[in-house]
Structure 1
Amino acid sequence: MSEATFVKPVVDNNDYKNEPVNYTAEIRQMMHGFGDHSEPLLETAKIIEDVVLNQMRAIIHKACEVADLRESQSVTAEDFLFLLRKDRIKLQRLVNYLKLKEFKASICKPLESDSVDSLTDPNKSDEISKLPFIKFLKYIDNTGELLNDKSLIDHVKRKRCIRAELLTRKMDETRYLEFSKARCVSFANKNRHKFSDWIGSSGDFTIAKSGYTVLGYLAYETVAQIVDLAFLVRQDQNKIHGDAIDRLRCSYPNPITYKPYQYTKPVMTKPITPSEVSEALRRYWSPQLEMTGPFHRWSLRKPHMKFLAC
C-alpha cells in the first residue's frame, strides 16, 4: 500500500491582484468623521460606495462632454468646475479646497530666503489670481458672481462643523484621536492609481492629474452629502410632533439658533442604517421635490439622476 502523498497548495499572487478595488474601509472612516458611529455598518458603507461610484462615472461622462466642446482629449479640473457653475456655494467650497491644496504645496517647497518678508509677500493675491482654475472662472464669469464669496454663507459646512463639535465635546483622548484620524481620510490619497482603477474610466478621453484631484474631492463630498441626508431622515423619524423645542434634542441642530450651552449632554449616535440611506436617496432623487415636480408623472424618469456633489 503506497503512502499518501500530500501536495502543498500553490498560492498564486495574481489572485490578490485580480480582486476588485474598493473603498469600503475608507468610506466607513469617512462616515465616522462626518458624525456617524465609530463602527459604521458595513452594509451601509457598501451602499454608499455603489452610489458614489455611479455618481463619479456619471460626472466623468458630463465632464467629457464639456471637454469635447473645447476640442480636448483630456479632462481637467476646469471641466468639473464648469459643471458646478450654477451652484455658487458648492463652487466656492471647491475653490477654497483647491486654494488650500496650492497653499500646502507652496509651503512644502524649499524657501529661497530666510527673510520674514518672503513669508508675508503682499503679492500673494496676485499669485492666487494666476492659478489656472481662477483664470478659468474669470473667463467664464460674465457677471462677477462666481468669485464673489463675501455674501455667501455655507450653511451645510457650518452644520457639519457644529455636529463635529457636539460629538467631540465629551470624548476622551483615545476617541478624539480616532475621530481626528477618520476626518483626515479621503479619496485624494497618494495612491492615485487605486482611485482610477476603482472608477474604471475608459474611452477616448484621459483624466489629467488636476482632474483626479477635483474628482476625489467630489467623491468625498458625495459621501458627506449622503450622511447629511441620512441624519435628516433620522431627525424626521425621531421628531416629536407638537414639541416646539424638539430640535434641541437632535444631533442635527439648526445653525441659526445654535447655542453651545443648550447641549450639555454628550450626543449618542447610532450607526446609520441602510434603510435610512435608501430613504434619504429616495427623497433627494424624487421628481416631486423639483419646481415642476407636481406636473410630472411619477413614472416619468429622467435620463440621468441629480448629482449629489454638483
Structure 2
Amino acid sequence: MEQTKQKVSFTNEISRMMFGFGDSHAPNPDTVQLVEHITLLQLRTIIQEALKYSTDGATLKGEELVFLMRRDKHKMRRFVKYLQNKKFKGTNPHQIGGMNFDPEEKPKCYLMQFIEKIDETGEFIDLSEVDEVKLEREIRADRMSQVLNEEQYIEFSKARCASFCSKQITMSNLERLKIWIDPIGKITYRLEALEVLAYLAYQTVAEITDYALLVRMDAKYHDPLQHFNNSYYTATMFNSGHKFGAINIDHSRVYTGQDPISIDEIKEVLRRIRSPQGGVLSLGGKLPETHFCFAL
C-alpha cells in the first residue's frame, strides 16, 4: 500500500532528454512539467485503447500496444530497429567481429514475432528506406556536438542516453514507470508491455521537442505562399523549408544563449496536432482515440 502512495516524477529525465533532442542546455522547468503531463496523459490514453484488445480488459501485454502502432509504418519501423538494436546488445562483441556471426542465430523476441505476424505486406520490417526523422535528429545532435567543449560534450552525451528506464530492463527497474502511469494499480502489466510504454514515452518526448523546434523555425522563417507537401512533418503541420538541412542553425547557442522551449511553443504544437492544417484523411471512418498521440 505504501508503494502506491509514492509521488513519482520523471521531470529530471525529461529535462535531460529534451536537451539531448535539441532544447536549451537548461530547459524551462515549467515546460518540462507540461511535457511530462502531456506524456503521461498520452500513455494513459494509449493504455485504455490497448486494453480494448486485451482478453480480460485488465491485463496489458506488449502485443496490444504494438498493434496500435500499425497505422504508421515509419514509427513501426523505428520500433523494429529498436528491437533489433536491443537484440544485438546481448550478443558477444567478439562474435560480431568474427566471420561466424549470424544475425538470425539469436531467437527473435516475442514482439518481433508478433510484428511479422501482422505485417501482411512486409513494410514494417523493411528497413531499406531512410528514416528521415531519425536522420534529422542525428544531424541535429551531430551539429550540436561539434560546437561543444569536452566537458559540455560529456554532459550532452549523458543527456542523449537518458530514458524512462535503465539499460538493463527488468520488472524491478520498470516499477517506477508503472507507479507513475498507474499509481492505483488497477491494471496488470506484463514486462514487455512496460518496456513498450517506456519506448513510447521516450518517443513522445522526442516528437514534442522536434515539433516545438519546428514551431520556432516556423515563426522565424515562415513563407505563407509556400505550399504544404507530403513529408513526415509537413503533411499536417509544417512547411517543407523547415528541413534541418535547409537552414544552417547556430547550434552553439544551445549553451551560449538559446532560449529554452516555451510553454506557448508546446501549446502551439498541441493546437496543430489536434487541428492539422492539411486536414485528416479518415475515409469516412471514426478516428481512433489515439489519433493525436505523438508516439503512434
Alignment gaps of 5+ in structure 2: 227-240
Matched, 1:165 2:142: yes
User: Given the alignment, which residue of 89, 100, 112 partners 1:121?
Assistant: 100
Q: 1:202 to 1:85 in 2, by over 3 A?
A: farther
TM-score (norm 2): 0.79
TM-score scaled by length of structure 1: 0.76
Aligned AA (2:159): A
- What is the aligned residue count? 270
Q: 1:181 aligns with which of 136, 140, 158?
A: 158
Paired residue for 2:23?
Answer: 36
Deviation, structure 1 residue 149 = 2.3
Secondary structure, counterpart of 1:106 in structure 2? coil
* Residue 97 of structure 1 pairs with residue 79 of structure 2: no
Instruction: Report the residue type matching 1:285 in the other structure.
Output: R
Q: How far has the Cα of 1:102 moved from its partner?
A: 1.9
Q: Does residue 212 of structure 2 align to residue 230 of structure 1?
A: yes
For residues 139-185 of structure 1, what are the alpha-carbon distances to aligned partners after superposition, in whole Å with 9 as ceiling and x for unaligned?
222222222222x2211111111111221111100111110011111
| Partners of 2:140 and 2:244 within 8 A in 1 | no
Q: Which residue of 227, 231, 243 maps to 1:254?
A: 243
Give the aligned CA root-mean-square deviation in angstroms.
Answer: 3.3
Matched-pair contact (CA < 8 Å) for 1:158–1:255: no
Deviation at 1:218, TM superposition (A): 0.4
The answer as to 2:294 corresponding to 1:308 is yes
CA distance in 2, matches of 1:232, 1:117: 39
Deviations 1:201-246 (A, max 9, x none): 667642111111111010000001000110111011112759x9xx
For the 8 Å contact 2:50–2:68, the answer to whether it is kept is yes
Cα distance 1:72–1:45, how it changes in 2: closer, same or farther (>3 A)? Answer: closer
Match of 2:131 among 146, 154, 177: 154
Unmatched 5+ stretches in structure 1 = 1-13, 109-113, 245-251, 296-300
CA contact (8 A) 1:78 1:133 kept: yes
- Give the AA of the match of 1:207: Y
Q: Residue 111 of structure 2 aligns to a residue in which SS?
A: helix
Q: Which amino acid aligns with 1:125?
A: E
Whether the aligned pair in 2 keeps the contact of 1:155 and 1:255 (CA below 8 Å) is no
Cα offset for 1:54? Answer: 0.4
How far is 1:194 from its partner? 0.9
Identity of aligned residues (%): 33
Q: 1:206 aligns to what? A: 188
Distance in 1 of aligned mates of 2:179 and 2:96? 45
Cα contact 1:40–1:271 (8 A) shared by 2: yes
Q: Answer yes or no: is the 8 Å Cα contact 2:208–2:266 preserved in 1.
A: yes
Distance 1:279 1:104 in 2: 38
Q: Which moved more, 1:91-100 or 1:45-54?
A: 91-100
Q: Tell me, in whole angstroms, the C-alpha distance in 2 between the residues paired with 1:302 and 1:78.
A: 17
**Which residue number in structure 1 is paired with residue 72 of structure 2?**
87
Correspondence for 1:75 among 60, 66, 76:
60
Taking a change above 3 Å as real, the CA distance of residues 291 and 305 of structure 1, as seen in their structure-2 partners, is closer
Whichever of the two has the greater Rg, that structure is: 1
Does structure 1 conserve the Cα–Cα contact (< 8 Å) formed by 2:217 and 2:242? no
* Post-superposition CA distance 1:23-42 (Å, at most 9, x none): 11111111101011111110
